[in-house]
Amino acid sequence: MNLTSLFIALRYWRAKSGDRFGRVVTTLATLGIILGVMALIIVMSVMNGLENMQKSNLLSSLPHAIISPLKGHLQARDKAEAQMDFLPFSLPPFVEHSTEINLAKVVIQSQKGLNAGVLIGVSEPSDDKLLASVQNFTQALPKGEFNLLIGSSLAEQLNVKVGDQLRLMITENSQYTPFGRVPIQRLFTISGIYTSHHAAQSDGHTLFAHLADVGRLLRIKPEQVQGVRLFLKDPFQVAELSNYFPREHWKISDWREQKGEFFQAVRMEKNMMGLLISLIIIVAVSNIVTSLSLMVVDKQGEIAILQTQGLMKKQVMQIFIIQGALVGVISAVLGGGIGVLITYYLADILSFVNLINITLPTDIAFSQVGLVMLMSIGLSLICTLYPAYQAAKVNPAQALRYE
C-alpha cells in the first residue's frame, strides 16, 4: 500500500463532505454493518448454547457408541489377564469411559400386553448413567438371579412394581421345541425402578439385568461378551472411531442412529438463521458502493488535479479501497465487540427488561466471531472495487475542462 494513498484517504475520511446525502448513506452503511454483525454473533451464540444444552441433556445418558466384532465375541475383562489382540487396551484418547455389554432387543410381555424394549447387561452401577438413581445396586442385580431394573416411565406403562415378573422374549434368536421353533424367553423379576430426568425416551424402553444373566439368555459363554460401550468426552467425535476400529473387522453403532436427525435439524436451523441474518450485513455493505460512488462524483476535480501531479491510477484506486475498508473494519470491530458484550450479559438483560421468563443458554465461539468479522470486512472490500475502478477512469482533461 502506498503511503500517499493512505494519507489522502485518511484526509478524506476526516474531512466533512459537502454532500449530505453521501454522509447519510455512509452512516447507514456503518450502522447496518454494526447491527448485522452484532445480531449474527448473538444469534449464533444462542444457537450454540441451545445445541450444547441439548447435547448435554439428550446424550449424557445414552451410550455414544457400541463396538463389537463382526465375527465371534470378546473376551470378558475379568476373565483375561491380558487383552485380546483384536481389542486394544489403549482406547482412543477421546473416550471417557468404557464398559462391556451384552445387549438384546426384546419383547416385554406383561398383563397389559406386549411392549418393545432393549435389554442391557451391566455389572456395575457406573456402567450406565441411567443407573445413577439406583441404590444398593449389588443387591438389586445379583448374578444368576435374573433380576431386572426398569425405567419409571416403562413401569407406569406396564402398571408394574418392584417384585412383579415380566417375560422377556428375544425374537431374533429362537430355540427348537417339540412345538417347533419359538423365541428364547425367560421370566425376570423386577428388583428396582430407575428414574432419568434427561432421557425420557430411554426411560421408556431400556431395561437392565446382570451382564452374566443377559449372556446366559443369549447363549453366550460366561467368559465372553458381545461388545464394548463407549462414552466419549465429546459425542460429536463419534465419527473418528472408524479410524481406530476398521469397518471390515468391527461393527460400530452410535447415538446418531437414534438422535442424529434431531441434531441435524438443529444444525440446519442454526445455519439458516445465520444465512438470513447475514443478508442484513450484505444489504448494509452494498450501501458502501453508493456512498463511494457519490464521493467519486464529488471529488472528480480533486482526483484530476492529483493525477496531473503524478498520482497513478493504481494509487487512485487505493484511496477509495481504503475508504471502504475503514468503514468495514470499524463497523466489524464495533459490531463484534457489542455483540460479544450483549451475549455475555444476555441473561441479565432479559431479566432486567422482563421480556421472557426463561434463561437462554449461550456459548460464545470466538472462532465464529472472528469469521463473522472477517466476512463483513471482506464484503466491504469487494464493494469498494467498482467505485475505485470508476475513480481510476477519471480523465483529467475532461474533469478540468470547465474549472
Least confident window among 81-85, 91-95, 117-121: 81-85
| Residue listed under C-alpha cell 472472528 | 370
pTM of the model: 0.71
Q: Residue 265: enclosing H or E segment and its boundaries? A: helix 256-298
Bigger pLDDT: 401 vs 250:
250
pLDDT category, 339, cuts 50, 70, 90?
very high
Length of the chain, in residues? 403
Q: Determine the distance from the C-alpha atom of residue 65 to the mean position of all C-alpha atoms in its chain, rounded to a whole number.
A: 18
Residue 359 has pLDDT above 90, yes or no: no
pLDDT at site 86: 42
Least confident window among 58-72, 73-87, 113-127, 306-320: 73-87
CB atoms near residue 311 (< 10 Å)? 20
- Dihedral of CA 340/342/348/350: which sign? negative
C-alpha cell at 181: 421353533
Cα–Cα distance, 142 to 213 (Å, whole number): 9
Compute the chain's Rg from CA coordinates.
Answer: 33
Q: Are 99 and 122 a contacting pair, CB within 8 Å?
A: yes
Mean pLDDT of the region 265-282: 84
At what angle are helices 313-344 and 346-353 packed, to 10 degrees? Answer: 60
pLDDT at site 83: 41
pLDDT at site 336: 92
pLDDT at site 82: 37
Mean pLDDT of the region 137-166: 83
Residue 108 has pLDDT above 80, yes or no: yes
Rounded alpha-carbon distances, angstroms, from residue 203 to 151, 193, 239: 5, 10, 26
Residue 337 has pLDDT above 90, yes or no: yes
Reduce the DSSP state of residue 330 to 3 states and report it. helix
Question: What are 2-60's pLDDT values in tens digits?
Answer: 777 777 777 777 665 556 776 777 888 888 889 999 999 998 988 888 888 877 776 66
Residue 390 has pLDDT above 90, yes or no: no
**Residue-wise DSSP of 335-352:** HHHHHHHHHHTHHHHHHH
Ranked by mean pLDDT, the top range of 22-26, 232-236, 373-377 is: 373-377
> Which of 379, 291, 274 lies closest to 28, judged by CA?
291
Ranges assigned E (strand) in 92-161: 95-110, 113-122, 147-151
Residue 113 has pLDDT above 90, yes or no: no
Mean pLDDT of the region 246-264: 77
- Dihedral of CA 214/217/222/224: which sign? negative
Ranges assigned E (strand) in 247-370: 250-254
> Which of 330, 321, 262 lies closest to 296, judged by CA?
321
- The residues, ordered by sequence, that sit 6+ positions from 230 with a Cβ below 8 Å of its Cβ are 63, 64, 65, 66, 67, 91, 95, 97, 98, 241
pLDDT at site 391: 82
Question: What are 179-212's pLDDT values in tens digits?
Answer: 556 677 888 888 888 876 555 555 567 888 888 8
pLDDT at site 88: 46
pLDDT at site 373: 92
Q: Are 160 and 117 a contacting pair, CB within 8 Å?
A: no
Bigger pLDDT: 380 vs 18:
380
The half-sphere exposure of 138 on its side-chain side, counting CA atoms within 13 A, is: 0
Reduce the DSSP state of residue 217 to 3 states and report it. helix
- When the pLDDT of each residue in the chain is averaged and rounded to a whole number, the result is 78
Mean pLDDT of the region 208-219: 86
Mean pLDDT of the region 99-124: 83
Residue 334 has pLDDT above 90, yes or no: yes
Residue 289 has pLDDT above 70, yes or no: yes
C-alpha cell at 245: 476400529
Reduce the DSSP state of residue 362 to 3 states and report it. coil
Q: Are 267 and 362 a contacting pair, CB within 8 Å?
A: no
